[in-house]
Amino acid sequence: MCNCKTQDFGQNSSVNQEVVETPYFIKDYFKDDPCSSDKSRICIDKCLVEEIKELWSYGIITTGCCCGHNSELPPYIGVITAHIPVMKKLGYRVHYSPCRPGDEDSFYPKTVKYMRTKCDACGDVLVMCENCETTICPTCGDMSEWVQDSDGVDICPDCYAELKNCEDFYAEDEDDD
């Protein structure tokens, strides 16, 4: 979740956005697209600006983004098809959309945590494992075996065990040197 003020869609959302210069390579890519206007500046949700600029610094062409504005909608960063493998190599998780089955050109941002849904029993926001997307209610569920890494990322017990095994393996490997 981010610090954006929750707003109904259709309202003026400029309070949550920053105007930034459009990189030349994005303008060049979309120059022949009849649906794209020649924008020298674009609006990006404030909580995603630095992450988008970092992706641009790698030459990644983004097609859109949204932080979700603390609603039930998931945040996403869209990229052109050619840059899907790069996003995956950078560790981004694909955001699969039921509206576009099979498409993999949308990704979950790393800087905006997505709380998938609310608990049916109590209405509390569910916590999602960053690795496998398993969710748990912090009120109704047992989170005693869940851990948070140094970045505050929630990790379920199964994923933590896998990560711990990898760390132990690499630590043993270093000891052999």
In a structure prediction context, what are the per-residue pLDDT tens digits for the chain, which is 177 residues long?
Answer: 566 666 555 555 567 888 899 999 988 888 877 766 667 888 899 989 999 999 999 999 999 998 887 666 778 999 999 999 999 999 898 887 777 788 999 998 988 876 556 777 887 877 877 777 778 888 888 888 888 877 677 888 888 888 777 766 555 555 555
Considering the domain architecture, whether residues 102 and 164 belong to the same structural domain is answered as no
Considering the domain architecture, whether residues 65 and 101 belong to the same structural domain is answered as yes
Considering the domain architecture, whether residues 94 and 37 belong to the same structural domain is answered as yes
Answer for the pair 4, 46: CB distance below 8 angstroms, yes or no. yes
For residue 171, give the H/E element and its range: helix 157-175
Spatial CA neighbour of 26 closest among 40, 11, 14, 12: 40
Considering the domain architecture, whether residues 122 and 110 belong to the same structural domain is answered as no
Tell if the pTM clears 0.75, that is, is over it. Answer: no
Q: Tell me the sheet residues that pair with 77.
A: 65, 107
SS3 135: strand
Domain boundary among the residues 95, 114, 133 is at: 114
The range of the structural domain enclosing residue 130 comes to 115-177
In eight-state DSSP terms, residue 107 is E
Neighbours of 142 (CB within 10 A): 10
